[in-house]
Chains A and B, each alone.
Chain A
């Protein structure tokens, strides 16, 4: 049975209206989300698993977090003229028009820029200055992570009513997303070298236990937020926003399948020293990263172009 083409019409109309400048904004937004969430998630991963001796260097968090935070800061700043350019008709002249730049900065977008920028700078400085997982440096890096997450609640649909509920749901959803995304590169790195041995295996096992309630919170908060924004589930099939959201949920389903495979099959196989368990787990985590990238791209498309 083939789907009714009329169901896809809202999405096809939206795609027809999406010009090159908008696609550029989507790509930059997706890259920003990825880098910011890797940086924030790296801090959270370090807080939870950072006390395992010998794994700090293998996980690569110390160079990863400031690098991701720095790249996120550059992409955040790039979004400013891109937004001004779009408002002016999609030209580079409009992108650097002082009036349009001031308009974009004045209001919610400027607040987001300041909050996220401060958070990313704070993250970067303290991870470069000190790689310790405790003390004032850890507190400051957590503060930086909190500022970055809060910045996401300053713009868009979560600023509607009831604001506290929508912002709290988005915050919970993003914190869980950051924890998951931030863990992927360190887990990929420590699942590679066999010489890391038991400590790495224990982290992989423990991550599976910790991730379960985190993923549950991610799903519940995300679905609740979507339901509030869409004002029900009917728009899922009748609006461009709903159709892209459905696609995002489908990819999320695949991601959850992979995560389950890791948790219940591949990590236990690694613990049991099964042959080829290590490269299979690594490949699975690599596939998770690709699906996460696709989800972030769909999210960027939703936040940049569509409206519930």
Chain B
């Protein structure tokens, strides 16, 4: 039956076109833009603030700082709200050594993002 045969191709094509055109809100692929302290930098004395920022909103699910004595307690953790900048502070001054900031999050386009940066305290 010609009509049925045509429908076999038209129906999926129409659905495809609809789904492509009825795209949701602009979904952005967030990229890290910078950090505080800067990646690879050396700071004199314990930093008061530790921050990362992104070009598009990111839902952070993990933000961890570790150093010579293990995981560093922070004053604030990520709240899973979509944000372009997250900032926190060490609960106690950091001693000299190398520190690694590890974060993970979900961008608006569904992409899971993760990164590590490090800085030195002298």
Contacts and interface: CB of A to CB of B under 8 A. Distances in A.
Interface in A156-188: 156-157, 159-161, 163-164, 167-168, 171
B64 A146 contact: no
B109 A159 contact: yes
A135 B108 contact: no
Contacts of B31: 307
Contacts of B59: 103
Contacts of B15: 143, 146-147, 150
Interface stretch (A86-94, A215-223, A257-265, A291-299): A86-94
A168 B21 CA distance: 10
Contact of A108 (B27, B61, B105, B116): B27
Contact size class for B? Answer: 35 or more
B121 interface: no
B59 to A, nearest CB: 7
A83 interface: yes
B8 A107 contact: no
Contacts of A145: 12
A141 to B, nearest CB: 9
A146 B16 CA distance: 7
A182 to B, nearest CB: 16
Interface string A68-101: 0000000000000001001111000000000110
B104 A139 contact: no
Contacts of A225: none
Contacts of A111: 24, 110
A155 B112 CA distance: 10
Interface in A268-308: 304, 307
Interface residues of A, number: 43
A23 B116 CA distance: 17
A99 B20 CA distance: 30
B119 to A, nearest CB: 17
A46 to B, nearest CB: 12
Nearest to A138: B8
Nearest to B10: A139
B60 to A, nearest CB: 9
A205 interface: no
Given A100-B61, A146-B16, A108 B108 contact: yes
A159 B11 contact: no
Given A160-B29, A163-B23, A87 B12 contact: no
A104 to B, nearest CB: 7
Contacts of A159: 23, 27, 29, 109-110
Interface string B1-40: 0001101110111011001110110111101000000000
Interface string A107-119: 1110110000000
B113 interface: yes
B80 to A, nearest CB: 6
Contacts of B21: 164
B74 to A, nearest CB: 15
B29 A156 contact: yes
State the 9 A-B residue pairs at the shortest beta-carbon distance, nearest first: A108-B110, A146-B12, A155-B110, A159-B27, A87-B61, A109-B110, A159-B109, A139-B8, A142-B12
Given A156-B110, A157-B109, A160-B109, 15 more contacts: A17-B114, A87-B61, A103-B61, A107-B106, A107-B108, A142-B12, A150-B15, A150-B20, A155-B109, A160-B27, A160-B28, A161-B26, A163-B23, A304-B112, A307-B111
Interface of B: 4-5, 7-9, 11-13, 15-16, 19-21, 23-24, 26-29, 31, 59, 61-62, 64, 80, 104-106, 108-114, 116
